[in-house]
Structure 1
Amino acid sequence: MNGTGYYLRLECVRMLRDPRYLALGVLAPIGFYLLFSTLFGGAPKEPGQLGGTVEIMVAMAAYGAIWGVLSATGPRISQERATGWVDQLRALPLNARQVMASKLAAGMLVALPAILLVCLTAVLAKDVRLDAWQWAALVPALWLGSLPFALLGTAIGYAVGPETAFPLSYALYMAMSAMGGLWVPPAKLPASFLHVADLLPTYRLADLGWAVAAGHAPGWADVAVLAGWTLLLGGLAAVAYHRPRWGRRPVLPVSATGAVSVAGSGDMG
């Protein structure tokens, strides 16, 4: 396994051992699915509409995936910057692109447990049944569609300090989830909210899954909006990564004898 593979594995293991990620990114979506599907999943559906248990399954799978990628990037990157871990990575045989790619890949990978476990819960607890091709399309659609949120987390991680990264990530997560129809079915949102939801990546991510669960191909509007957010947030992440790090700890040069030299340090006397 090369250096990139080892680093990617390290990032995934660290996230899967994080109790905050497990609680908010895995257990919470499962618990919310069981709660909401029990309260609202049995409501009669109109012709052409998804059943409540299926609609809520997709929404909660998207909800968990979004927090998985956000928590694996934003707060974690910011904390690593503050502790100097980002500078220590310079000693590894990895360039900046490999580190960034590994961060994004780890964030994407830890989105899978929420998607898979929410779907499994729906099958076992609520007897949700889809065709094999729908399952095969649903999971990758929700997974790949979470990329914009990984880029959002990366931008946050490199732009703000650790005191701000977690509350900012969580606030954006909750606001976009609420306005994007993950908490309330989009058909029940006020008209003004529905216009906003159409532009949000949260709604478009869930709509990808709802289309597949209904037996349709994903709509071009969903793909276009998610692609637009991916480009926008990717640009913001690149700008945040390359901006001057005023608070970064200096890396002291090491001489051939192993002694740390500090230019211009003067008499320590």
Structure 2
Amino acid sequence: MLRYLLLEIRRTARDRRFVFFTVALPVGFYLLWSNIFTKGGDLDSDTGLDAKTYLLVSMAAFGALGASLTTTGARLAAERQSGWLRQLQVTPLRPWAVITAKVLASMCLALPAIVMVGLVAVLTKHVHLSAGEWAAMIGAMWIGTLPFAALGTLIGSVVGADAAQPLTVLCYMGLAVLGGMWMSVSILPRTMRAIAHWTPSNRFADLGWSIAAGHTPPASDALILAGWTVVLGGLATVAYRRATVRS
């Protein structure tokens, strides 16, 4: 499985679209929005973070979310169409091993988005966090990409190549909005706020906001993310098995 994992990482890293959408795009948005909110006042009453720090977490989460989804969903659907899954079936790899390798590869490729947004925030906006806070935030957000990688794999196993890309983008943007990455959840309508707090994207971003604010993330963040990971990972494994039978 290790060789297959390294192969997945190399294949995706060579994709220029991956570099643009998962690294350049969140960095560009961070520079744009952090320059608009120049006063540095509190952007969100729930976190108490200033604009440049709040946006650091938001855009890092946005980039990591995109990397996790786009490196699994559309790619896996294309592999089904091209016959790559049939080739994998003649290898000793079990379905759970293929899913695990794809999820881990997605997580590895989400890490640069988190690191690069953080680096740009330090160099351009002089965001200051302690070494421990940086390590905790990056580590927690990296692990927090698990349910999104599983969701991307589920999408790629269920729908065809033509539908996978728009469905992935729809999930990407919907989760970003509900996660509070584009606007504070507190300004959303009441029903959307209630839904948002149960989404993995909101709890994912909240990990970073809590740590950046100097607080220990609430246990509910980890529990909800773990629950989504188990459910989506299980569904992805079942869907992948069915997809290989049909291929």
Q: TM-score w.r.t. structure 2 length? A: 0.93
Q: Residue type matched to 1:110 in 2?
A: L
Unpaired runs of 5+ residues, structure 1, are: 249-269
Flag structure 2 segments of 5+ consecutive residues without an equivalent: none
Query: Residue in 2 aligned with 1:267?
Result: none
The Cα of 1:238 is off from its aligned counterpart by 2.1
What's the counterpart of residue 93 of structure 2? Answer: 94
Partner of 1:60: 59
Q: Which residue of 1 aligns with 2:218?
A: 219
Aligned partner of 2:12 in structure 1 is: 15
Match of residue 40 from structure 1: 37
Q: CA RMSD in A?
A: 1.8
Distance 2:75 2:88 in 1: 14
In 2: Cα distance, 1:146 partner to 1:109 partner: 10
Using the TM superposition, name which of 226-235 and 125-134 deviates more: 226-235
AA of the residue aligned to 2:57 = V
Match of 2:165 in 1: 166
**Distance in structure 2 (CA, Å) of the matches to 1:227 and 1:90:** 29
Point out the structure with the larger helix share. Answer: 2
Corresponding residue to 2:23 among 17, 26, 31:
26
8 Å CA contact retained: 1:26, 1:64: yes
Q: Is the 8 A contact 1:208 1:218 kept in 2?
A: yes
Deviation at 1:38, TM superposition (A): 0.9
Once the two structures are TM-superposed, the CA of residue 193 in structure 1 deviates from its matched residue by 2.6
**In 2, Cα distance between equivalents of 1:49 and 1:222:** 18
Distance 2:4 2:246 in 1: 25
Cα shift at 1:43: 4.0
The question of whether the paired residues in 1 share the 8 Å contact of 2:72 and 2:152 is answered with yes
What's the counterpart of residue 106 of structure 1? 105
Change over 3 Å in CA distance of 1:106–1:245 after alignment to 2: closer
Runs of 4+ aligned residues of structure 1 deviating over 6 Å after TM superposition are: none
Return the TM-score normalized by structure 1: 0.86
Q: Which moved more, 1:40-49 or 1:116-125?
A: 40-49
Does the CA-based 8 Å contact 1:75-1:162 persist in structure 2?
Answer: yes
**Kept in 1: contact 2:152–2:168 (CA 8 A):** yes
Q: Percent identity?
A: 44
Corresponding pairs, count: 245
Higher relative contact order (CA 8 A, sep 6+): 2
Counterpart residue type for residue 27 of structure 2: I
Query: Given residue 239 of structure 1, which amino acid in structure 2 is its aligned partner?
Result: V
Corresponding letter in the other structure for 1:121:
V
**What displacement does 1:41 show?**
5.0
CA–CA distance in structure 2, aligned partners of residues 72 and 5 of structure 1 = 18
